[in-house]
Amino acid sequence: MSKPEPISVLIVAPAEPLVGGQAVQASRLVEKFRDDDEVEVGFLAANPAFIPPLQKIKYVRTVLTTFRYILSLLVNIPKYEIIHVFSASFSSFLLAPAPAILLGKLFGKKVLLNYRSGFLEKHLTTWPKSTIPLIRKCDVVVTPSRYLVDVFEKFGIKARSVHNFVTIDKYKFETRNELRPRFLSNRNFEDLYNVGCTISAFARIREEFPEATLTIAGSGPQEQELRRLVGELGSAGIEFVGTVPQKDMPGLYAKADIYLNSPNIDNMPNSILEAFASGTAVVTTNAGGIPYIVEHERNGLMVEIGDDKALAEQAFRLLRDKHLAVELAEGGRSDLEKFKWESVRDDWIDVYRSI
């Protein structure tokens, strides 16, 4: 029996070094499919770079980026069968996915919308006329979690889920038999990720464990505000390390024993999967799609959104009960099978073949 012809797929997504889950997952997907006999993959950056001095001029940057992006779509879309479009929400949906969807359909291509924002319900509720008709033009809608599938269903849009994947071989699982109060936060400094809640929880933790440390990886518009909060709380032991390249993330998780995560809105954060792969115990708020991957007291500990006191109390449980931390880490490790490339790869091939 002869092998089926490879499917040609153009992935349209933000490119690194732009920080965020979309860029990370897109680059991983392209890297894996370039070595796959069943897929001929191409990549088109939704945030193309151009002359560096012009990138610093706000409106000029937007106009030139959009022009270059649309020109690249016009040149590249005709070469592929399937246009796989990564998508966030609100204005970024109109700037990047919308042109790719419209031009893909204009050229008669199959269009796959890979919607990845935890703001989905608010997006569809507040921008229905500019968003829902465009989404309905797509041949298939895919999300990284059942949570977003359920949200789409509320609006009468059928979607299916294909998980994010973690390159587990780059992470070393280590059992922490003696848990130390070494904490890690790895989220961008934006309102939705509420890193301030993590800092407030850590200040409470330091009162009980003065030797505790918190490494904060990330960047964003709230950095100065967060640094001021650290000063106001008088919380020593906190280190801001900036944006950490993906290749260095395994080392960061290896140095931490507990991962603190306190978003107000979320979907399916890669950072939790990376913690699972490292054996780092997870304490998180129950925002958005997180309860779809974290089960309280089985593979992590969860608290209500914005409750820094509860976040600290759950961290105390781990520090006082070393067996609990080991059990949670093993629970996270056992769940990683469905997030391995081999499983996710088959799901993507199935989606591509089905359209």
Question: Is residue 161, in this structure, part of any structural domain at all?
Answer: yes
Model pLDDT, residue 50:
59
The amino acid occupying position 56 is K
CA triplet 73, 78, 83: central angle to 5 degrees? Answer: 65
Tokens 């029996």 — which residue? 1
pLDDT class of 3 with cuts at 50, 70, 90: confident
Burial of 129 (0-12, 13-18, 19+ CB in 10 A): exposed
Give exposure, 214-242, as e/b (b: 16+ Cβ within 10 Å). bbbbbbbebbeebeebbeebebebbebee
Residue-wise pLDDT for 242-256, tens only, equals: 999 989 999 999 999
Burial of 293 (0-12, 13-18, 19+ CB in 10 A): buried
Domain range for 202 is 168-337
Model pLDDT, residue 260:
99
The answer to whether residues 144 and 179 belong to one domain is no
Mean pLDDT over 154-181 rounds to: 94
Residue-wise pLDDT for 98-138, tens only, equals: 999 999 999 999 999 999 999 999 999 999 999 999 999 99
Whether residue 51 is predicted with pLDDT greater than 60 in this model: the reply is: no
Strands, sheet with 281-285, edge to edge from the N-terminal-most edge strand: 238-242, 213-217, 182-186, 258-261, 281-285, 301-303
- CA-nearest of 186, 228, 182, 229 to 206 is 182
Whether residue 65 is predicted with pLDDT greater than 90 in this model: the reply is: no
Whether residue 17 is predicted with pLDDT greater than 70 in this model: the reply is: no
Write the CB contacts of 99 (distance below 8 Å, at least 6 apart in sequence).
69, 70, 73
Q: In whole angstroms, give the CA distance from residue 347 to residue 341.
A: 10
The answer to whether residues 223 and 114 belong to one domain is no
Residue-wise pLDDT for 260-305, tens only, equals: 999 999 999 999 999 999 999 999 999 999 999 999 999 999 999 9
The answer to whether residues 268 and 321 belong to one domain is yes
Question: Is residue 140, in this structure, part of any structural domain at all?
Answer: yes
pLDDT class of 18 with cuts at 50, 70, 90: low
First-to-last C-alpha distance (Å) of the chain: 22
pLDDT class of 353 with cuts at 50, 70, 90: very high
Mean pLDDT over 306-310 rounds to: 99
Mean pLDDT over 78-90 rounds to: 98
Whether residue 348 is predicted with pLDDT greater than 90 in this model: the reply is: yes
At 355 the three-state DSSP class reads coil
CA triplet 28, 31, 34: central angle to 5 degrees? Answer: 145
- CA-nearest of 288, 283, 232, 243 to 262 is 283
Rg (CA), the chain: 21
In terms of DSSP bridges, do strands 238-242 and 301-303 run parallel, antiparallel, or are they unpaired? Answer: unpaired
Question: Is residue 2, in this structure, part of any structural domain at all?
Answer: no
At 108, list the tokens: 């008669």
Whether residue 168 is predicted with pLDDT greater than 90 in this model: the reply is: no
The answer to whether residues 60 and 31 belong to one domain is yes
Question: Is residue 27, in this structure, part of any structural domain at all?
Answer: yes
The answer to whether residues 146 and 62 belong to one domain is yes
pLDDT class of 153 with cuts at 50, 70, 90: very high
CATH code of 52's domain: 3.40.50.2000
Write the CB contacts of 82 (distance below 8 Å, at least 6 apart in sequence).
7, 8, 9, 10, 109, 110, 111, 112, 352, 355
The answer to whether residues 19 and 35 belong to one domain is yes
pLDDT class of 169 with cuts at 50, 70, 90: confident
Model pLDDT, residue 21:
79
Residue-wise pLDDT for 207-244, tens only, equals: 999 999 999 999 999 999 999 999 999 889 999 999 99
Count of structural domains within the chain: 2
The answer to whether residues 187 and 290 belong to one domain is yes
DSSP for 221-246 reads TTHHHHHHHHHHHT--SEEEEE---G
Question: Is residue 1, in this structure, part of any structural domain at all?
Answer: no
At 334, list the tokens: 């056992």
The answer to whether residues 12 and 153 belong to one domain is yes
Strands, sheet with 110-115, edge to edge from the N-terminal-most edge strand: 39-45, 7-13, 82-87, 110-115, 140-143, 160-161
The answer to whether residues 177 and 312 belong to one domain is yes
For the chain, how many residues are written?
A: 355
pLDDT class of 206 with cuts at 50, 70, 90: very high
The answer to whether residues 133 and 239 belong to one domain is no
Q: How far is CA 227 from CA 77, 180, 211, 231, 240, in A?
A: 45, 24, 20, 6, 9
The amino acid occupying position 69 is Y
Whether residue 53 is predicted with pLDDT greater than 70 in this model: the reply is: no
Per-chain mean pLDDT for the chain: 94
Q: In whole angstroms, give the CA distance from residue 26 to residue 249.
A: 17
Whether residue 155 is predicted with pLDDT greater than 60 in this model: the reply is: yes
Q: Please report, rounded to a whole number, the percentage of residues in the chain having pLDDT higher than 90.
A: 88
Question: Is residue 177, in this structure, part of any structural domain at all?
Answer: yes
At 228, list the tokens: 């001021």
Q: In whole angstroms, give the CA distance from residue 288 to residue 267.
A: 6
Question: Is residue 221, in this structure, part of any structural domain at all?
Answer: yes
Question: Is residue 180, in this structure, part of any structural domain at all?
Answer: yes
Q: Please report, rounded to a whole number, the percentage of residues in the chain having pLDDT higher than 70.
A: 95
The answer to whether residues 187 and 331 belong to one domain is yes
The answer to whether residues 36 and 181 belong to one domain is no
Model pLDDT, residue 55:
56
